[in-house]
Amino acid sequence: MPLYRSRRLHAYMLCFFTVFSSSLWEDEEDDDSTSTTGQGNASGNSSQWQLFDGQQWSQICNDHIIECHYCQPGARGMTIYTNLGSLHIDFDDMTVTGPFAGLGVRRQTFLPFNQSQEVGWYYKDNTYWCEYGSQGSSHNTSSVNSHDLEQQYNSNPRGSFQFKVGSTAYKLDFSAMTQTNLSTLMTRKVRRRPKFNSVVSANSSSMALASSSLSTLSLNPPTAVTWEFIGDEGVWMEYQKPGSSLDSMDIEKQYQLNPQGQLNFTAGRYTYTLYFSGMYQISNTFGTKRHVRRTSGNQHNNSALSQAHWQFKDMDGRWKDYVKGSNRGRCTVSSQDIEAQYQQNSTGTMSFSTGKFNYQLDFSAMVQTNLSTSTRRPVRRL
150 located within any domain: yes
Number of domains in the chain: 4
Residues constituting the chain: 382
101 located within any domain: yes
The residues, any chain, with a CB within 8 Å of residue 307's CB and separated by 6 or more, are none
136 located within any domain: yes
- Whether residues 9 and 94 share a domain: the answer is yes
- Whether residues 273 and 339 share a domain: the answer is no
- Whether residues 343 and 375 share a domain: the answer is yes
CATH of the domain at 330: 3.30.720.50
- Whether residues 139 and 170 share a domain: the answer is yes
- Whether residues 152 and 67 share a domain: the answer is no
Q: Which long-range contacts (CB under 8 A, 24 or more apart) does 362-367 make?
A: 364/137, 364/138, 364/139, 365/126, 365/137, 365/138, 366/126, 366/127, 366/137, 367/126
Last residue of a domain, one of 109, 143, 169: 109
220 located within any domain: no
216 located within any domain: no
CA distance 85 to 8: 12
pLDDT of residue 140: 63
CA distance 110 to 40: 5
pLDDT of residue 361: 92
138 located within any domain: yes
Last residue of a domain, one of 257, 275, 299: 299
Q: Which of 25, 21, 51 is nearest to 36 (CA)?
A: 51
- Whether residues 313 and 374 share a domain: the answer is yes
- Whether residues 246 and 262 share a domain: the answer is yes
CA distance 48 to 264: 25
181 located within any domain: yes
CA distance 13 to 87: 10
pLDDT of residue 116: 78
Last residue of a domain, one of 85, 109, 133: 109
The residues, any chain, with a CB within 8 Å of residue 147's CB and separated by 6 or more, are none
219 located within any domain: no
In the chain, the amino acid numbered 211 is: S
Question: Which domain, by its residues, includes 197?
Answer: 115-210
pLDDT of residue 36: 29
pLDDT of residue 340: 75
- Whether residues 75 and 154 share a domain: the answer is no
Provide φ and ψ at 175, rounded to 5°.
-70, -50
Q: Give the dihedral sign, CA 190/193/198/202.
A: positive
Tens-level pLDDT at each residue, the chain (382 residues): 443 344 444 433 344 343 433 333 223 233 332 222 233 343 446 788 888 877 788 888 888 888 888 988 888 898 887 555 688 999 988 899 888 888 888 888 777 767 778 899 999 888 788 888 876 555 566 678 888 898 888 888 888 999 888 888 999 999 999 999 999 999 999 999 998 877 776 554 433 333 333 333 333 333 468 888 887 656 678 888 877 888 888 898 888 888 888 889 988 888 899 999 888 999 888 888 888 888 765 444 444 444 568 899 988 888 888 887 655 556 888 887 788 778 767 788 888 888 778 899 998 889 999 998 888 999 998 8
- Whether residues 12 and 67 share a domain: the answer is yes
- Whether residues 120 and 102 share a domain: the answer is no
- Whether residues 169 and 248 share a domain: the answer is no
pLDDT of residue 122: 92
- Whether residues 333 and 263 share a domain: the answer is no
